[in-house]
Structure 1
Amino acid sequence: MRKSFMKSALAFGCALLTALSLTAVTGFAKNYDDEVQSWQLLSRHWDESELKVRFEEFIKDIKEHKGIEDYIVPDISEEEKEAIRNYFRTFEGMKDIRYTYTKMPVLHRVNGTDEYNDLRGIMELKFQTTEAKNKVTEHTVLLKMARLGDAQGLKWKIVGILWKDKGVDVSDVKIYQLDKPKRGEEVCIMTTDAGVIKMRLFPEKAPIAVQNWITLSKQGFYNGTPFARVIKDFVIQGGALDGSGDEAKSSYNGFFVDEVNMELHNFNGALCLGNNGPHTNGNQFYIVQCSKIRNEAALPLLSLPENVKAKYKEVGGIPELDGRYTVLGQVYEGMDVVEKIASQETNQDDAPVSNPILIQNITFQKYR
């Protein structure tokens, strides 16, 4: 009995020594992808506040070349750690780097650990860098995260990089869209049953769309047609709407391409083309009627220049439509008419219940 016990103890001792040797060599790297999720959670405001403070400090440490070891989980492989280090090292030499945004859309508990170490998530981190010639780039990276610690303290740490972009140029742009027309500039006069709407056009930035708008208008295409879809604090919409059969009618004998431009935006009063997907522009149009952006908290999600975000906060609009629809003009007089049209009583399909307001005619003249 004693001999058998001694043999077992010896075997155990050998196994332990082997394990300790392997730990010294490999660190027994943990694969967090093997963990089993036990409970999907909703990230709350205190979670978001904790992440914000943590990663503001993280970006500050990168800027000051302090290293990021405290932000990486200690028990992943050295190769995985180096991949994380290498990604963030590339930003250490930038002229400036600053925190923009964090959000954890995926959060869950895992089995097999204690309550201090059982939270995992996928976090979206946005930060901006300023490079030579004051070019501002916004970077977005999705990080696999683990909250680790004990009763003395808890810290969110990076497990790995799930996805990263190449950076988006968000340098300030010239905002001229809301300027008054210049003397001699050709402007658009839309006369409706509710009054007159005057608009600037931007042929330099959206030449195809502007030419189509002018041609159809001069042909009388819009005369006597209704604003068939109106949503208060969103848009008023005209032209051939979905299902009418005339969506593709244009001066180009069919659909034409998008002209999305970083200098033109869906500010309150913007004249834009509606479509059914990429490059399906015809005659459908909308005018933005939204004097205050509906979800200011969503602005950090959009890779827009900071001066554009500031202008949205100032004048209103629908920033989430940017990058999808062609902006070809801007109301400079008659927003009260746009608001009157948007205030009509509508049904569940956003169509006016009775007597929709019609476009009488659209003309063009030189601004004086």
Structure 2
Amino acid sequence: MKKPYLFLCFLSALSLGFSTLGFNANADVKKYEEEVQKSQFLSRHWDESELKERFQNFLSALQKQEGIEDYIVPDINEDEKETIREFFRPYEKKELTYVHTKMDILNQVSGTDEYNDLRGIFKLTFRVKEGAKTIEHTVLMHMARLGDANGIKWKIYKIIWSDKGIDVSDVKLIQLEKPKRGEQVCIMTTDAGVIKMRLFPEQAPVAVKNWIELSKQGFYNGTPFARVIKDFVIQGGALDGSGDESKSIYNGFFEDEVHKGLYNFNGALCLGNNGPHTNGNQFYIVQKKNVNESVFPNTSLPANVEEKYKEVGGLPELDGRYTVLGQVYEGMDVVEKIAAQETDKNDAPVENPVKIQKIEFQKYR
């Protein structure tokens, strides 16, 4: 019975001997999270370019299943390396598309040389083709820039956070189609001219019903576009703090109807609100001929929607938070004329704001 005990003692002594002689497997493991930051930098365009190329190559390596060891910090322990490999393993051999890289934090740490003293928190967004679907993924990572005079590379040492994936497959876009014969359309007569709009009762039934019935009651007749911002929106309804903001056919505020297929394209008719499910009678019409493409990486829009925004303009930054219930198909010149009014610091027309004379509905011929 003494032999197993003696054997265990021998193994312990052997392990201690290896450690003493420098054979400890964890001897060169570095604790990056324990480093001391001595300064923080603002990333520059060359940093972004370097990262973009690095991550494009990274996704290519994943897709070709070439291995990602060159993208992992070499001196963390094996378990930490495997955690990183395991996270990205499901994406190997799949069709991957780079979307965006953002450097949220860039700092300098003490205790090393100028080739190895930069650390950062980075956001990588990429898309994965999975059958008929396209799924967008975003991951946050701790990274270190390591190397020497012969070359420096950003490498991952920890996955901080990731989402579960967002479906960004192409959607059917009906919003900008011409009205069909017999379709009920909205005719808004203003002091500046006539604006004709399609409505989407199937996609936003609650909002469309409220819009039609309030209009037929004459609620909007004689009311002004009280807030106008050129290259943004013209806005009407109860905006004056009178307490009528919640007035609707539902005796108060009603729910949002954010439909994946309707967007804040130029000319979109939408409901204004003061937060989730605070729709009443406020509305706005988008007036923006172009689009700020820099917002796309943070909006998770289908590719065909992004392309349509580039074509017609609009405000993708408003998508997902406001109900879209209609679309101008004739009279955008009138919308632009209203938006061009001189305004004060509160975006209210300085004098003689354009008013709505009447809103009618008729079958499109």
Query: What amino acid maps onto 2:353 in structure 1?
Result: P
Residues 27 and 77 in structure 1, CA contact (< 8 A), matched pair in contact too: no
Alignment partner of 1:75 is 2:75:
yes
d(CA) in 2 for partners of 1:162 and 1:336? 49
Partner secondary structure for residue 227 of structure 1? coil
**How far 1:163 sits from its partner (Å)?**
0.7
Q: Post-superposition shift, 1:26? A: 2.0
Check if 1:151 corresponds to 2:167: no
Tell me the residue number matched to 2:249: 251
My pick for the range that moved more, 73-82 or 356-365, is 73-82
Q: In structure 2, what is the Cα distance between the partners aligned to 1:226 and 1:355?
A: 9
Distance 2:21 2:330 in 1: 78
Q: Secondary structure at the match of 2:262?
A: coil
Cα deviation, residue 79, structure 1: 1.7
Looking at structure 2, the residues matched to 242 and 55 of structure 1 have their Cα atoms a distance apart, in angstroms, of 50
Tell me the distance in 1 between the aligned counterparts of 2:188 and 2:176: 18
**Deviation digits for residues 76-128 of structure 1 (CA, Å, limit 9, x no counterpart):** 1222111111110011153x112111111211111111110111111110111
Residue 136 of structure 1 aligns with which residue? 134
The CA distance in 2 between the partners of 1:290 and 1:270, in whole Å, is 10
Shift of 1:75: 1.3
User: In structure 1, what residue type is equivalent to 2:229?
Assistant: I
Q: CA shift at 1:143, angstroms?
A: 0.9
The Cα shift of 1:301 comes to 2.3
Structure 2 length normalisation: TM-score? Answer: 0.93
Q: Deviations over 1:42-66 (max 9, x none)?
A: 1111000000111100000000011
How far residue 174 of structure 1 moved from its aligned partner, in angstroms, is 1.0
- The amino acid across from 1:367 in the alignment is Y
Counterpart CA distance in 1 for 2:20 and 2:332 is 75
CA RMSD of aligned residues (A): 1.4
The amino acid across from 2:148 in the alignment is: D
Report the alpha carbon displacement of residue 321 of structure 1 after superposing the two structures with TM: 0.4
Aligned to 1:43: 43
1:27 touches 1:75 (CA, 8 Å); kept in 2? no
- Give the paired residue count: 350
What's the offset of the Cα at 1:16? 11
What fraction of aligned residue pairs are identical, expressed as a percent?
Answer: 70
Aligned counterpart, 1:214: 212
Residue range with higher mean Cα deviation, 25-34 or 98-107:
25-34
Task: Find the counterpart in structure 2 of residue 349 from structure 1.
Answer: 346
> Match for residue 195 of structure 2?
197
Q: 1:20 and 1:139, CA in 2 relative to 1: closer, same or farther beyond 3 A?
A: farther
2:315 equivalent to 1:315: no
* Cross-structure match for 1:330: 327
Counterparts of 2:31 and 2:356, CA distance in 1: 64
Amino acid of the residue matched to residue 62 of structure 1? L
Q: Name the SS of the counterpart of 2:67 in structure 1.
A: coil
Shift of 1:18: 3.7
Q: Match of 1:105?
A: 104
Show the 5 A alignment for 1:203-282. 203-241=201-239, 243-282=241-280
Instruction: Quote the offset at 1:19 in angstroms.
Output: 5.6
SS at match of 1:120: strand
What secondary structure is seen at the aligned counterpart in 1 of 2:50? Answer: helix
TM-score normalized by structure 1?
0.93
CA offset digits 1:258-278 (Å, max 9, x no partner): 110110000000000000001
Q: Deviations over 1:156-180 (max 9, x none)?
A: 0001111100000000111110111
**Structure 2, gaps ≥5 residues long:** 1-15
- Consecutive unaligned residues of structure 1, counting only runs of 5 or more, are 1-14
* SS of residue in 2 equivalent to 1:181: coil
Letter in 2 for 1:118: D
Q: Which amino acid aligns with 2:90?
A: T
Paired residues of 1:217 and 1:362 also in contact (CA < 8 A): yes
- Alignment of structure 1 residues 110-189 onto 2, 5 Å: 110-132=109-131, 134-189=132-187
Kindly indicate whether residue 357 of structure 2 is the aligned counterpart of residue 360 of structure 1. yes
What is the identity, as a one-letter code, of the residue corresponding to 1:75? D
Corresponding letter in the other structure for 1:288: V
* CA separation of 1:20 and 1:34: change in aligned 2, threshold 3 A: farther
Contact persistence 1:122–1:143 (CA under 8 A): yes
Displacement of 1:20 in angstroms is 5.2
The 2-side partners of 1:259 and 1:224 are apart by 28
Return the alpha-carbon distance in structure 2 between the equivalents of residues 263 and 244 of structure 1. Answer: 34
Q: Is the Cα contact below 8 Å between 1:128 and 1:137 reproduced in 2?
A: yes
The answer for the alignment partner of 1:12 in structure 2 is: none
Partners of 1:292 and 1:202 lie apart in 2 by 24
Q: Aligned partners of 1:91 and 1:17: how far apart in 2? A: 39
Q: C-alpha displacement at 1:242, in angstroms?
A: 6.4
8 Å CA contact 2:62, 2:93 repeated in 1? no
Q: What's the counterpart of residue 296 of structure 1?
A: 293
Structure 2 residue aligned with 1:58: 58
Give the distance between the partners of 1:30 and 1:218, measured in 2 at CA.
72
